[in-house]
Structure 1
Amino acid sequence: MSTVAVAVADGILHFELALACELLGSPPPVPVDGWYEVVICGAGPVRADGRFLLEPDAGLDRLVRADTVIVPGWAEVDVDPPADLVQAVRAAYEAGARVASLCTGAFVLAAAGLLDGRRATTHWAHTATLAARHPRVDVDPDVLYVDEGRVLTAAGKAAALDLCLHLVRRDHGSAVANAVARRLVVAPHRPGGQAQFVATPVPEPRGHPLSDLLAWTGRHLDQSLTVEDLARRANMSSRHLGRHFRSMTGTTSLQWLLTQRIRRAQELLETTDDSVDVIAEATGMGTAATLRRHFNRTVGVPPDAYRRTFRARRL
């Protein structure tokens, strides 16, 4: 079992705290070996959002024995975070833990020196402050989350959920992450590089002009689809399609389509014995070489290595 320590102190934001505990602390709706044990760690009773009094499960010294440390959002970004919290997070990282921040929890990681020389993000309203206070951090204000291996950062609120699902996907695979997302009634995957927000509000999916197209595309990923094909299916021009895609997903139609193909390939690699050639055809990639190129660039490892990793975790 993997231990997830959630580090808390006075001024912690209750939304991100509750989100991490619910998503990672509740048993998944499908069988899985080695789910998380979530432990809330603090120096003593803390007040979240100035309204909720919380009694931690353990002290901050417990962080050094955790596999993953999560630092939820931090309310007081204009002042330095508590020194004991910063020191405990740094010690946990030095002991080998993976460390992730949600929303303004990035200020704690930055104070601990864990973001120096790394790309990171936080809530868009505070990215300028983070960059000014910590000039050695490469702050990206335009993404949902950043995965730097053992150090991960998420933007605000819903992006914290995206990062937690990303952790589940990294640890247990796409099938489990998708099952957890279905239980929470949320989208199973939003790429970390997607924009934090768009200029116009995102309409309800059911009433959006692309809702039927997205569902149809998901069922026909084995086909070679172009922007023109999607536009014809949606009965609109390619330019009009592009505007709708950007407003609904924050990305282009081709990037969205590639992401769906990669996620489908991950599921097939995890759940079937199909060859890479067969999976390339099933996901519309055409050839194994094309699948390997895009998969390696997106996921960071070749398809065969990805399959071996998740097969090994089931043994």
Structure 2
Amino acid sequence: MTVRHRVAVLALDGVMALDLGIPSQVFGCATDSAGHRLYETRICTPDGGPIRCSAGFAVQPDHGLDLLGWADTVIVPGIHREHLGTFAAGPAMAALRAAHTAGKRIMSICTGAFALAAAGLLDGRPAATHWAYADDFRARYPQIKLDAEVLFIDDGDVLTSAGVAAGLDLCLHVVRRDHGSEVANRAARRCVVAPWRDGGQAQFIERPLPAVGDASTAATRDWALARLGEPLDLDQLARHARMSVRTFTRRFREETGLSPGRWLTRQRVEHARHLLESTDLSIDQIAGRAGFGTAVSLRQHLRAAVGTAPLSYRRTFRTPA
């Protein structure tokens, strides 16, 4: 029998309706090859009673804060701006701190990061939240290393995400981290969403429209993805896009939220993970096909991305023949 990972979603006053449903949807679609669910998701409120969500209707949970003791992972969804300053103290914050101390994985979606910050769980850590609330977040919590350009941040035992749909990205990332790309991709297909989105939320921040005639880097990204095993540098990418290096770098970051180098490394790591999971190729062969050149380079980049070595990753996530 499959042992399900237990997820508690803590809904606070003013919870964002879409954010509240994301964990149940994504984790509910994560199954093994036999179709058995890998997660069990339940919802709670601070007193076990109904709360109003941002969409104007009430949410009636089945549980109170005792659910956090049951859970392996605790998630705080986004909260409407009117409620962001209302939970600096109280039993919910104490319960979040106790859950973290007990070794539970803690996550937030969108402005749920404000609750984690109020509980003191993000002090000195990197964190993400919706770009529109970045200035407010920095003013309230200057001790936190906010990155307003990424879709999510995985800091090990505490994970935070940007606005709304970035909660999908974060939950799929957690499924991928727990069970590998095959399970995460299957869950993404069930949810009819992309299993991995390039770049960060920088591409969604409001800014003036580009001048007429500014070209996209999309075709060059597709071209690079088909050549991950080849040596590619910034000059080659800019030349393919028919732009100067300066223009290409600026446009690329606007469209993806990443520098060309960081984006290329991320794609190579993802390709290497796929090959480790789905083939019997040697580590040297995978390093070559992914564009890392040597097993040493692959090992360094994979450990930086997912915290493990290629052979360990393969033993954990290799799809049985």
TM-score of the two chains, using structure 2 as the length reference: 0.84
- Kept in 1, the 8 Å contact 2:203–2:254? The answer is no
Count of matched residue positions in the alignment of Structure 1 and Structure 2: 310
Answer yes or no: is the 8 Å Cα contact 2:29–2:187 preserved in 1: no
2:57 aligned with 1:52 = yes
Match for 2:42 among 35, 39, 54?
A: 39
SS in 1 for 2:66: helix
Residues 249, 260 of structure 2: 8 Å contact kept: yes
Alignment partner, residue 13 of structure 1: 16
CA change 1:34–1:24 in 2 (3 A) is closer
Are positions 1:181 and 2:184 aligned together?
A: no
User: Equivalents in 1 of 2:288, 2:149: separation in Å?
Assistant: 34
Q: How does 1:1-315 map to 2 (within 5 A)?
A: 1-28=4-31, 35-42=38-45, 43-49=48-54, 51-75=56-80, 76-80=83-87, 83-190=90-197, 195=202, 197-198=204-205, 200=207, 209-311=216-318
> What is the one-letter code of the residue matched to 2:93?
V
Provide the secondary structure at the position in 1 that maps to 2:305: helix
| Comparing 22-31 and 293-302, the one that deviates more | 22-31
User: What whole-Å deviation, never above 9, does each CA across 1:11-31 have from its counterpart, x for those lacking one?
Assistant: 111121122222122345965
Quick one: which amino acid aligns to residue 36 of structure 1? Y
Give the residue type in structure 2 aligned to 1:26. Answer: C
**Which has the higher mean CA deviation after the structures are superposed, 10-19 or 298-307?**
298-307
In structure 2, the CA distance between the partners of 1:140 and 1:251, relative to structure 1 (3 Å rule), is closer
Q: From the superposition, tell whether residues 274 and 194 of structure 1 become closer, same or farther in structure 2 (CA, over 3 Å).
A: farther
**What SS is found at the alignment partner of 1:60?**
coil
Q: Whole-Å Cα distance in 1 between the matches of residues 42 and 249 of structure 2? A: 44
Residue by residue over 1:195-240, the C-alpha shift from the partner in whole angstroms, topping out at 9 and shown as x without a partner, is: 474564899xxxx733333333323222222233333433444344
- In the alignment, the residues of structure 2 paired with residue 24 and residue 82 of structure 1 have an alpha-carbon distance, to the nearest angstrom, of 30
Pairwise CA distance, 1:129: 3.1
1:5 partner letter: A
Q: What is the SS of the residue equivalent to 1:5?
A: strand
Partner secondary structure for residue 6 of structure 1? strand
CA drift at 1:73: 0.7
Q: Distance in 1 between matches of 2:294 and 2:284?
A: 6
Q: Distance in 2 between matches of 1:194 and 1:279?
A: 31
| CA displacement at 1:85 relative to structure 2 | 2.1
1:201/1:222 CA distance change after superposition, 3 Å: farther
Rounded to whole Å, the distance in 1 between the matches of 2:208 and 2:24 is 29
Residues 1:229 and 1:174: Cα distance change in structure 2 (over 3 Å): same
Instruction: Tell me: CA distance 1:85–1:192, structure 2 relative to 1, closer, same or farther (3 Å).
Output: farther
SS in 2 for 1:268: helix
Q: For structure 2, list consecutive stretches of 5 or more residues without a partner in the other structure.
A: none
> Once the 2 structures are TM-superposed, how far is the Cα of residue 164 of structure 1 from its aligned partner?
1.4
1:53 corresponds to which letter in structure 2?
A: A
Tell me how far apart the structure 2 counterparts of residues 30 and 233 of structure 1 sit (CA, whole Å).
41
Tell me the amino acid that sits aligned with residue 20 of structure 1: P
Q: Determine helix, strand or coil for the equivalent of 2:13.
A: coil
- C-alpha contact (below 8 Å) 2:9/2:76 kept by paired residues: yes
**8 A contact 2:11–2:43 mirrored in 1:** yes
Residues 149 and 193 (structure 1), Cα distance of their counterparts in 2 relative to 1, 3 Å cut:
farther
Q: Contact (CA 8 Å) 2:29, 2:37: kept in 1 or not? A: no
